[in-house]
Structure 1
Amino acid sequence: MTPIQPPALLTPSRRQWLCGAAALAGSGLAAPVQAKTEAYPKGPVKLVVPFTPGGATDVIARKLGDQLSKSLNAPFVIENKPGAFGMIGTDQVVKAAPDGQTIGLILSGVVLINPHIYTKVPYQVERDIALISKVADTAGVLAVHPSVPVKNAQDFVAYLKANPDKLNFGSYGQGSSPHLLCEYLRKTLDARMNHVPYKGEAPLVQDMLGNQVQVGIASLNAQKQHFDAGKLRPIALIAGQRTAAMPELATMAEQGFGDDVFRMQNWFGIIAPKATPAAIQDQLAQAIGAVMATPEMQEMIVKMGYTPVADSTPRKLVAEYREWAPRWKKLAELSGAKIDQ
């Protein structure tokens, strides 16, 4: 039989510690008891892509989802929900249960441009959306058809001023970031050209190749092969810094155009419903960062013409959103673009 141990003697120091702990508990200042972290994910995770299959967002989502399935030991199921420049799919994520089992991969225009362009937006960013993690930055490339006799940004602006309304400027949609930049050029530099909106990058680039439009801004991913073949000519990068996918291409700022608008670039990022617990947001962001840091993902993103991001967190992404959102709003207002939706 195990002998019953006598109660431990209360030494003066032990008695003081117990009394102090009781006092703290009574005052409500006791250190909180750490709650046991629940396992995440609890089964399959739905990763909503608010754009059509085959596009850059979809390609990144499928590769990221595949890697997260392995690292978190749960299937990540891709669901494409296109429409209204990402608002339909984003709304589906926003209205899902806030448990981390439904997330989305968006292009930043969903949160930075849509609220200022569309007359009806089914979500409010700060109220409804948890910004979890950025996965890649995407720079726009200002390019021209080879028939346009310019080779850099300074030449381009000078040519526009000397040839008002001669060039057609293509964008991948009314209210898209290239459209806003086109309006900025027209209104601040007195560079007159005709805006031609397309439904996506593919038809825009196709008409640039055919010289139906002579100027456009699209992703490096959509244009790189045509630059290499000499069928389109890159003029400048719309970004804060050069990209590893085409390091020889200078930014607009490097070419003498230092306005904030020429550093405003898009990004791909993971979102979730706003009420998703912070612990789940952090765990998800850490898992995404680990995946994005792998050589396989880094190589894929760079080959697509983007810049991989492996150190994003909810706090970093929210801070970046709040820094740039007012600038996007100002640019949208300057453009005058409005879409009934």
Structure 2
Amino acid sequence: MLTTHFVRALTLATTLAALLPAAALAQDAPYPAKPVRMVVPYPAGGATDFIARTIGERLSKSLGQAIVVDNKPGAAGGLGAGEVARAKADGYTLLLTITDTQINNTALFKSLPYDPQKDFAFITQVVRSPALVSVNAETPVKSMQDLKQLVASRKGKLSYASWGIGGLGHLAGESLNRELQADMVHSPQRGEGPVVTDLLSKTVDIGLSSVASAKQHVQAGKLTPLAVLGRERSTALPQVPTLRELGFADPLFDTNVWIAVLAPAKTPAPIVKRLADEIRAIVATPELAAQYTERGFEVMNTTPEQFAASYRAEFGVITRRMRDFGVEAQ
């Protein structure tokens, strides 16, 4: 007669034997085995949404699974970024965001629901969006030299607009303000559209927006571009010099707003590599690269290693300037 101990052991062994094939099958299932969610921490219809959907449509074909773009706006992008930071690190939840959630927000908010330096794995920076310094075309200012002369005659009487407090436009505008000793008043807006509107209506003297938002008005002769941020000129406006070319030395002027893809920290390296390889191949296609350039973006298409290196360098430059300029946490 079988003892109770033996029966229990036999039952346990039988149960484990039944579970082993299923466990092995789950472990051997190739990635991805189900749809992938790409969280965009900004509203639908913006630049991040556009990039996410153009990539998602093509990525779904190359991976053989649906890519679900999920817009989660709120808290200056912090709501969606925090959700991805807390997600399971299995490659099925991704973040497509801009520089602000990963750098600027650390100085803008006293507390964040995520740590941008520790909670994410770098996949790739897709594009950068060069910032543009421009004025209304009806003004006599046609170059940065003209602006210097205008500042000399109207010190303390000029204003500049940016897309929001603590954003790159604000920081670059304030750095320019100090280098020119212009004593300009900052007019923060909620987005780039209002900046361009203010320029067109002459509500402000100088505006900092993206090339993408101002390009059509430059081409129509309504805005005069003076300079772009970044180490290289904009492909969309190649005639416009960089601030660096014009002799402005602040390292901040070498930076740009980028749009990138990240995953939760501890996502397995093979999955990160697979995603990076697939997305970079998509972005490198002439059709999509041309589409991005036409919109005023510059293709970056970095490797995870390149992304990590540039992120760490920019983090120090941007947060230091935010402290220097007295941008206070909310």
Output the CA distance in 2 between the equivalents of 1:324 and 1:207: 29
Amino acid at match of 1:319: A
Q: SS of 1:234's equivalent?
A: strand
Indicate yes or no: 2:275 matched with 1:284. yes
Specify every segment of 5 or more residues in structure 2 that has no aligned partner in the other structure, as ranges.
Answer: 1-26
Q: SS of 1:48's equivalent?
A: strand
The CA deviation at 1:184 is 1.6
Compare 219-228 and 331-340 and name the one that shifted more: 331-340
Match 1:102 to one of 93, 96, 100:
93
1:123-202 equivalent positions in 2, closer than 5 A: 123-202=114-193
Corresponding position of 1:80: 71
Corresponding position of 1:14: none
Contact kept, 8 Å, 1:289 with 1:309, in 2: the verdict is no
Corresponding position of 1:247: 238
Amino acid at match of 1:265: N
Q: SS of 1:132's equivalent?
A: strand
Indicate yes or no: 2:303 matched with 1:313. yes
Q: SS of 2:170's equivalent?
A: helix
Match 1:225 to one of 191, 216, 222:
216
* CA displacement 1:111-153 (0-9 Å, x = unmatched): 1211122222221122211121110122100001124321122
Output the CA distance in 1 between the equivalents of 2:29 and 2:151: 60
Indicate yes or no: 2:213 matched with 1:234. no
Output the CA distance in 1 between the equivalents of 2:86 and 2:180: 43
Indicate yes or no: 2:60 matched with 1:69. yes
Compare 157-166 and 74-83 and name the one that shifted more: 157-166
Output the CA distance in 2 between the equivalents of 1:74 and 1:335: 46
The alignment-based identity, stated in percent, is 37
Amino acid at match of 1:49: V
Contact kept, 8 Å, 2:102 with 2:117, in 1: the verdict is no
Contact kept, 8 Å, 1:171 with 1:216, in 2: the verdict is yes
Output the CA distance in 1 between the equivalents of 2:307 and 2:315: 12
TM-score by length of 2: 0.88
Q: SS of 2:169's equivalent?
A: helix
Q: SS of 2:112's equivalent?
A: coil
Output the CA distance in 2 between the equivalents of 1:143 and 1:325: 26
Q: SS of 1:43's equivalent?
A: coil
Compare 59-68 and 147-156 and name the one that shifted more: 147-156
Contact kept, 8 Å, 1:161 with 1:192, in 2: the verdict is no
* Alpha carbons of structure 1 residues 158 and 122: separation in structure 2 relative to 1, 3 Å: farther
Indicate yes or no: 2:320 matched with 1:324. no
* Alpha carbons of structure 1 residues 149 and 37: separation in structure 2 relative to 1, 3 Å: farther
The CA deviation at 1:248 is 1.2
TM-score by length of 1: 0.86
Amino acid at match of 2:289: Q
* Alpha carbons of structure 1 residues 157 and 117: separation in structure 2 relative to 1, 3 Å: farther
Output the CA distance in 2 between the equivalents of 1:293 and 1:320: 20
Output the CA distance in 1 between the equivalents of 2:229 and 2:36: 35
Contact kept, 8 Å, 2:138 with 2:222, in 1: the verdict is no
Amino acid at match of 1:330: R
* Alpha carbons of structure 1 residues 91 and 205: separation in structure 2 relative to 1, 3 Å: same
Aligned-residue CA RMSD (Å): 1.5
Output the CA distance in 1 between the equivalents of 2:121 and 2:151: 42
Q: SS of 1:82's equivalent?
A: coil
The CA deviation at 1:57 is 0.8
- Report how many aligned residue pairs link the two structures: 304
Output the CA distance in 2 between the equivalents of 1:161 and 1:176: 27
Output the CA distance in 1 between the equivalents of 2:271 and 2:151: 51
Compare 328-337 and 281-290 and name the one that shifted more: 328-337
Q: SS of 1:254's equivalent?
A: coil
* Alpha carbons of structure 1 residues 187 and 246: separation in structure 2 relative to 1, 3 Å: closer
Corresponding position of 2:293: 302
Corresponding position of 1:46: 37
Q: SS of 1:127's equivalent?
A: coil
Corresponding position of 1:15: none
The CA deviation at 1:38 is 5.1
Corresponding position of 1:9: none
Output the CA distance in 1 between the equivalents of 2:146 and 2:320: 27
Contact kept, 8 Å, 1:134 with 1:268, in 2: the verdict is yes
* Alpha carbons of structure 1 residues 326 and 37: separation in structure 2 relative to 1, 3 Å: farther
